[in-house]
Structure 1
Amino acid sequence: MSDEVEPGFVRVRLDLSYDGKDFSGWAKQREGQRTVQGEIEDALRTVTRSRQTYELTVAGRTDSGVHARGQVAHVDLPEGVWGEHREKLLRRLAGRLPHDVRIWRAEEAPAGFNARFSAIWRRYAYRVTDHPGGVDPLLRGHVLWHDWTLDMDAMNEAAEPLLGEHDFAAYCKRREGATTIRTLQELRWERRADGILEATVRADAFCHNMVRSLVGAMLFVGDGHRPPEWPGKVLAAGVRDSAVHVVRPHGLTLEEVGYPADGLLAARSAEARNKRSLPGVAGSDGCC
């Protein structure tokens, strides 16, 4: 599969953010479901006065209710359309898009760029408060209330065995034909000055429900219901554990997507499409 853009088209990188509260996730679904992709594609069609819909490819397909501060997508536009609208595209999209989604940058992408397959990491944050009074009303759409005091040191201890390349089947909702092997590059908790506990979770890619399941396991350790070694044992078992709770989506935000230098984009895109396996285990397709 090649990332060469069709002749007569220009690949445009879009940097965007959205509040996921009222969206049924990123990806277009059946009629009547409001999605981020659907809103942006409709707005693009309107502001460029096009009859056809130009489909977006996104770095991370967020679930219903999940937010994004640093999402990245690309769209291939006819050269004429891009040439006519590029200078005023951001302002026109701002006037057409709903207030819970914004595009901050729209620029011609470098050769070989693919918003999904060229990415080398995605970084999420999950925010929780254990304050006995609950969540600040002004933050209630972005912070989970956990009604138990949390031990941050225990959660960070529990995170250590999960780092590196593993089969995260125990923390993922399986999808037919998709691998659950991922490289977890960072998983750590910090307590902010305002008392909110913030998890930073960074990996080359994530499988379905992976971040929210990992956070659920960490919280079970933090409130004393399980010992720090328990999440690692669940990972090693390789099967879903009924005690691993998938926490609610509103505490989760896609913060940033990382890409290699321009000259390495195409190579990274090709690598990400390869079958992936752990040593001695047959692989399966699917990077993200």
Structure 2
Amino acid sequence: MRIALGIEYDGQAFAGWQCQKGKLTVQSAVEHALSRVAAEPVRVTCAGRTDAGVHALEQVVHFDTKVYRKPYSWLMGTNTALPEEVRLLWVRETSEDFHARYSAIARFYRYVILNRQMKSALFRRQVTWHFHPLDEKAMQEAASHLIGEHDFSSFRAQDCQSKSPMRRMHFIHVRREGDRVVIELCANAFLHHMVRNIAGVLMEIGSGKQDPVWAGEVLKARNRKCAGVTAPPDGLYLGGVYYPVHFGLPRHPIFDNLPENASRHAPSDSL
């Protein structure tokens, strides 16, 4: 049978999602815990790999097994064996045609900026600290230039292995919550470092160093050198993954207004 899982994790203790020899990763921790419950080796496939220091509100994975356990047993048994920085949120039996990566319609990321004079003693690695005041309205105006289907070459890492830079950005929302500025982005897929590079551009604009139209100019340049710095990983969260309704998986409310065919042009090498 094929099992799908929703996973929350604090990425600061890990060298990213993907298994790496000699390093602690989220994938290795999850596979180790699941294997204990299954009493046999388990290998998982995720919706999108996250880098070192990046967190997840809801990563989605699947795995295949011939071992029968009730969903509650998978959930509680695995959580007992996981480090405290990682927790399963839900477990569902699903159809064999479900694929955590390739069945995804869209992905949602959240980037959280602590915008005040002092760093936080409590959230040192859960937010990105930005000293200079940010104008969230200017950042939202800038973000409007990135909506739609575009070549996002200016916002991809130099070592990005995606075959195509084309991505469809469904929305970018920028809002202030007290001393925090929150950026929420939803696209059919993301390039390597795409969210962090967009956040870096928006912070430059929010700080008053560039005008909002600069975001569109960077996009049209299709040149990574035009986009400025990559924002730190600390404030980045994989927020959720959107799948066709027939798979019966939990869905974040932020996806409520997306159409079921939103992934018609989703690339096969999606992140």
Tell whether the structures are fold-level matches, with TM greater than 0.5. Answer: yes
Aligned length: 260
**Kindly, what percent of the aligned residue pairs are identical?**
36
In 2, distance between residues paired with 1:241 and 1:181?
A: 18
* SS of alignment partner, residue 28 of structure 2: helix
- What is the match of residue 7 of structure 2? 16
C-alpha deviation, 1:135, in angstroms: 3.2
In 2, distance between residues paired with 1:129 and 1:145?
A: 5
In 2, distance between residues paired with 1:28 and 1:200?
A: 27
1:272–1:44: structure 2 CA closer, same or farther, 3 Å change rule? Answer: farther
Map 1:46-85; keep pairs closer than 5 Å.
Answer: 46-50=36-40, 53-78=41-66, 81=67, 83-84=68-69
Map 1:104-123; keep pairs closer than 5 Å.
Answer: 104-123=89-108
Map 1:1-288; keep pairs closer than 5 Å.
Answer: 10-29=1-20, 31-50=21-40, 53-78=41-66, 81=67, 83-84=68-69, 86-132=71-117, 134-173=118-157, 174-176=159-161, 178-192=163-177, 194-241=178-225, 243-262=227-246, 286-288=269-271
In 2, distance between residues paired with 1:127 and 1:175?
A: 23
In 1, distance between residues paired with 2:69 and 2:4?
A: 17
Give 5+ residue unaligned stretches, structure 1.
1-9, 277-284
In 2, distance between residues paired with 1:84 and 1:111?
A: 17
C-alpha deviation, 1:180, in angstroms: 1.5
- What is the match of residue 255 of structure 2? none
Runs of 4+ with >6 A deviation: none
Aligned partners of 2:9 and 2:87 also within 8 Å: yes
C-alpha deviation, 1:215, in angstroms: 0.3
The amino acid that maps onto 2:218 is: V
* SS of alignment partner, residue 216 of structure 2: helix
In 2, distance between residues paired with 1:46 and 1:165?
A: 44
C-alpha deviation, 1:182, in angstroms: 0.6
The amino acid that maps onto 1:65 is: G
Aligned partners of 1:110 and 1:262 also within 8 Å: no
CA RMSD of aligned residues (A): 2.3
TM-score by length of structure 2 reads: 0.89
The amino acid that maps onto 1:54 is: V
TM-score by length of structure 1 reads: 0.84
Give 5+ residue unaligned stretches, structure 2.
250-259
- What is the match of residue 256 of structure 2? none
In 2, distance between residues paired with 1:14 and 1:162?
A: 32
1:263–1:36: structure 2 CA closer, same or farther, 3 Å change rule? Answer: closer
Aligned partners of 2:155 and 2:227 also within 8 Å: no
